Amino acid sequence: MYFTSEYADVQLWKGKSLLTWKKRATFDNYRVPATAALELIRQYGCDMVIDARNGFEDEKEDVEWGFSFLLPEVAKAGCKKVWFIMTEVNENDIGEEMDMLSAEFLKYFEVIKVDDPGKITV
């Protein structure tokens, strides 16, 4: 495990930076794990997996930080694909927000949504 907190875990998994959200996180509780995932991408030049099955809602300030800092830095670090792991129920709850986020992610990356980590390919 590269990083762990009560809000998220970050690890290198299948050669990718895996950010697993455990529950809703805001401000530093959101940004510190996201930055840890970025650091793995910088170290390994890898792609990213975001496990949003346990929730993924952001405060406006966190969204702005993600769009202005995190996504450009992740792209600069060499990430080409981002996988989102979501369940159908989960997508119904946060689908609108994920659509907005996906549109921004698509400016930088190929975005793939899956409902099972086993569907993530190399």
HSE, CB side, 13 Å, CA atoms: give it for residue 101: 26
Domain containing 98 equals 3-119
Domain count, the chain: 1
Q: Rounded to an integer, what distance in angstroms lies between the CA atom of residue 4 and that of residue 116?
A: 22
Nearest to 117 by CA among 18, 42, 7: 18
Query: CB–CB of 66/103 below 8 Å?
Result: no
Q: Rounded to an integer, what distance in angstroms lies between the CA atom of residue 100 and that of residue 3?
A: 27
* Model confidence pLDDT, tens digit, residues 7-60: 999 999 999 999 999 999 999 999 999 999 999 999 999 999 999 988 766 789
Q: What pTM does this model have?
A: 0.91
